[in-house]
Amino acid sequence: MSATTNVVADPVASAHVGRKSRRSVNTFPLVAPSVIVLVLWMIVPLAMTLWFSFQRYNLIVPTIQGFAGWENYEYLVTDPALWTAMKNTLLLVGWVLALTVALGVLLAILLDQDFWGRGVARLFVIAPFFIMPTVSALIWKNLLMHPVNGLFAWITSSLGLGRIDWFASLPLTSIIMIVAWQWVPFATLILLTAIQSLDEEQKEAARMDGAGPLAMFWFIILPHLGRAISVVIMIETIFFLSIFAEILVTTAGGPGLASTNLAFLIYQRALLEFDVGSASAGGVIAIILANIVAIFLVRSVARNLDA
Amino acid sequence: MSTTASYTVPSEAPAKAAPPAKKAMHPATKSKIIMTVIGWTVSLLVFFPIFWMILTSFKTEVEAVQTPPSLFFHPTVENYAIVQERADYFRFAMNSVVVSLVSTIAALILAVPASYAMAFFPKPRTKDLMLWMLSTKMLPPVGVLVPMYLLWRDLNLLDTRTGLIIIYTLVNLPIVVWMLYTFFKEVPKDILEAGRMDGASPKQELWHLLMPLSLPGIASTALLAIILTWNEAFWSLNLATSQAAPLPTFIASFSSPEGLFWSKLSAASTMAVAPILIFGWMSQRQLVRGLTFGAVK
């Protein structure tokens, strides 16, 4: 079993072996359908977004039409909302990544310890990952963070700290908390799997050499987790760049623009203000931002798969 | 001990399933008691919002907003009855079921042959192809929201199940291809070789050897796709607002005026997440391997 679970997805290595031992098979009809639909899925909307971003196009004012040049981009770039939204997007991604990785490492180490009922405890820890974002946002918004009747309000006021109106005074922080809660289980699950693949003998040897728990963590466990952490960061970033439901349900981007990220800004432009041109320009900017992030991420994944 | 990796992955079985050798090394000591206390405290803390939601769903509306919160009360299933009575719930739930099942099946139909070909007959460019597929996931959905909205409007796909099914099939396809690829790679090559010696065609090989052998992997890939689709909110909130709206939209509708009916909201939420939570718990062991595309053992 251990041999099979150790297989790392690596098409190149197997291509090497494969070419020698296999007859050649025409794989085109097998691969083509997936590739064709994905190409369409990528190219068509992308081309349309680019096209619209250079058009004057508002769904409620159909008389205004025509080529807009860089107008939509100028309008967006000079609009402070774009920069606030970009800053919020990056803050959101950065903080939630930091929180989920840090807490995920701690939780994974905790759940790797031997204790009674560990299997059931693990199920409890991973549960938030399976909760749909609209539900978790509403649960946190109402049952926990409500300024009057929420559980947090009761706890803080019992402690004499007064009641915090979370979404009014700490909107972005509140959303970071909710998203982090949803994604800590994912990080934990992956990191736990990585910790468990750590060689027992190596740990034993370190222990024999007199390594304390802290030294074990720094010199044995943490270096071993490098690859798992990069996988967590890559997958989470894909999802965090377009956080939407949590914002829609809790703050609707407010107060003001305090919790508006790029995804929410474009949604507002497109579906609330019907400004297709400006929303498309925003979409192009979102894609560029995501690609800048993705270049680094794909590189690190590619490295991981080679290793 | 290096083999432990394969069977101590997060397990539904309680701790007693741990290898006996380990137990002998660490007899039930004070440290184990302390670990148990810490472990359970932290786990329950993480789980608490879900527990609180379930608890609130059995309260009356008055009890739900009480401060200090009431822990002891006469549980009532009234909220569930009311949510059910709105009849709407089942339409939303039905949409969720149909959309996640059909889009998952569609993605599997497209992905199985592709993954099979890439796993067993790799070409020099296969790796680039797979990375490119993954990179389509990097495209933020919001970047293409506007054209998709207009396209779907013109194709009369707005607010239809078909419209959502097409989108989710495409959204999940790269992940499904990667997961299947990872699982196919784990099928012992000797068995396929033996089949080939006996004259099995690639098609027979796929249907009669590979599919049965990697059924657990295919099942957990399907489960992940269902979970992701069930919980996806961006496309459903923007492209299906009434007729074809799945559960995330239903729940989001509670955010506005009805937001203060907490126990009904909790009941509806519990109903919306229960099936997928159980699914997730059942498949968590396999999900890790699939989700990381085999990059983490």
- pLDDT range class, residue B6, cuts 50, 70, 90: very low
Could you tell me if B236 and A247 are in contact, meaning their C-beta atoms sit under 8 angstroms apart?
Answer: no
Residue A16: predicted pLDDT: 45
Q: Does residue B17 contact residue B223 with C-beta atoms inside 8 Å?
A: no
Quick check: B25 pLDDT over 60? no
Task: Domains for chain A: give ranges and CATH numbers.
Answer: 8-306 (1.10.3720.10)
CA distance B22 to B38: 20
Query: Among residues 235-264 of chain B, which lie with CB inside 8 Å of chain A?
Result: 237-238, 247-249, 251-252, 254-255, 259-260, 262
Q: Is A81 exposed, middle or buried (0-12, 13-18, 19+ CB in 10 A)?
A: middle
Q: For residue A205, give the amino acid letter.
A: A
Q: Is A298 exposed, middle or buried (0-12, 13-18, 19+ CB in 10 A)?
A: middle
Q: Which of A293, A288, A178, A152 is CA-nearest to residue A235?
A: A293
Asked whether A1 and A298 are in contact (CB, 8 A), the reply is: no
Query: Cβ separation of B147 and A45 shorter than 8 Å?
Result: yes
Answer whether residue A59 shows pLDDT above 80: no
**Alpha-carbon span B224 to B245, nearest angstrom:** 21
Determine the pLDDT at residue B293.
61
Mean pLDDT, residues B4-8 taken together:
40
Neighbours of B64 (CB within 10 A): 25
Res B188: pLDDT = 79
B283 vs B221: CA distance, rounded Å = 9
For residue A302, the distance in angstroms to the closest alpha carbon of chain B comes to: 8
| Average pLDDT over all residues of chain A | 81
Measure the CA–CA gap between B146 and A48, rounded to whole angstroms: 9
pLDDT at B256: 61
Q: B138, A149: Cβ pair inside 8 Å?
A: no
Q: Quick one: residue B77, left, alpha or beta (phi over 0 = left, psi -120 to 50 = alpha)? A: alpha
Neighbours of A79 (CB within 10 A): 15
Give me the long-range contacts of B207-211 (CB less than 8 A, separation at least 24).
Answer: B210/B116, B210/B184, B211/B112
- Say if CB A96 and CB A179 are below 8 A apart: yes
Which chain B residues are within 8 Å of A100, Cβ to Cβ? Answer: none
Q: Which residue of B has its CA nearest to A51?
A: B147
pLDDT per residue as tens digits for the range A238-258: 888 888 888 988 888 878 888
Which pLDDT belongs to residue B14? 45
The whole-angstrom distance between residue A242's C-alpha and the CA centroid of its chain comes to 8
Residue B258 has pLDDT above 60, yes or no: no
User: If pLDDT is split at 50, 70 and 90, which confidence band does B257 have?
Assistant: low
Contact criterion met (CB < 8 Å) for A138 and B139: no
The answer to whether the beta carbons of residues B101 and B93 sit under 8 Å apart is no
Look at residue B12 in the predicted model and tell me its pLDDT: 43
pLDDT at B102 over 90: yes
CA B32 remoteness from chain centre: 33
Distance CA B209, CA A176 (A): 47
State the angle between helix axes of A226-240 and A171-196 in degrees (0 to 180), rounded to the nearest 10: 150
Interaxial angle between packed helices B262-291 and B161-185, expressed in degrees from 0 to 180 and rounded to the nearest 10: 40
Cβ-contact A115, B36 below 8 angstroms: yes
- The confidence score (pLDDT) of residue A19 equals 41
B38-62 tens-digit pLDDT: 999 999 999 999 999 998 888 887 7
Here the tokens at position A292 are 């800048």
- Decide if A68 contacts A56 (C-beta within 8 A): yes
Give how far A128 is from chain B: nearest CA, Å.
Answer: 7
pLDDT score at B206? 79
pLDDT digits (tens, 9 = 90+) for A113-163: 888 888 889 889 989 989 999 899 988 988 888 877 788 888 888 888 878
Q: Name chain A contacts of B252, Cβ cutoff 8 Å.
A: 134, 138, 245, 248-249
Residue of A nearest to B282 (CA): A123
Q: How far is A278 from chain B (nearest CA, A)?
A: 10
Tell me the pLDDT band of A304, cut-offs 50, 70 and 90: low
Decide if pLDDT at A95 tops 70: yes
- Please answer whether residues A65 and A216 qualify as being in contact, where contact means their C-beta atoms are separated by less than 8 angstroms: no
> In terms of pLDDT, which residue wins out, B65 or A86?
A86
Structural domains of chain B, ranges and CATH numbers in brackets: 4-57 (no CATH), 82-291 (1.10.3720.10)
Q: What is the mean pLDDT of chain B?
A: 80
> What are the CA-CA distances from residue B179 to residues A14, A236, B134, B289, B293 (Å)?
17, 17, 11, 8, 6
Percent of chain B with pLDDT over 90: 19
Report the pLDDT value the prediction gives residue A96, as an integer from 0 to 100. 95
pLDDT band at B296 (very low <50, low <70, confident <90, very high): low
More confident residue, B163 or A168: B163
Note the ipTM here: 0.80
Q: For B119, name the nearest residue in chain A, comparing CA atoms only.
A: A11
pLDDT at A218 over 90: no
**Residues of chain A positioned with their CB less than 8 A from the CB of B202:** 25
pLDDT over threshold 60, residue B193? yes
pLDDT band at A7 (very low <50, low <70, confident <90, very high): very low
Q: Work out the pLDDT band at B297, boundaries 50, 70, 90.
A: low
Closest residue in A to B236 (Cα) is A245
Share of chain A above pLDDT 90, in %: 15
From chain A, pick out residues whose CB is under 8 angstroms from the CB of B124. 15
Q: Which range (A14-28, A180-194, A235-249, B90-104) has the least confidence?
A: A14-28
pLDDT tier at B209 (50, 70, 90 boundaries)? confident
Residue of chain A minimizing CA distance to B269: A135
pLDDT of A100 = 95
Stretch 111-170 of chain B: residues touching chain A, C-beta under 8 Å: 111, 113-114, 116-124, 126-127, 129-131, 133-151, 169-170
Average pLDDT over residues A66-85: 82
> Is the pLDDT at B234 greater than 70, yes or no?
yes
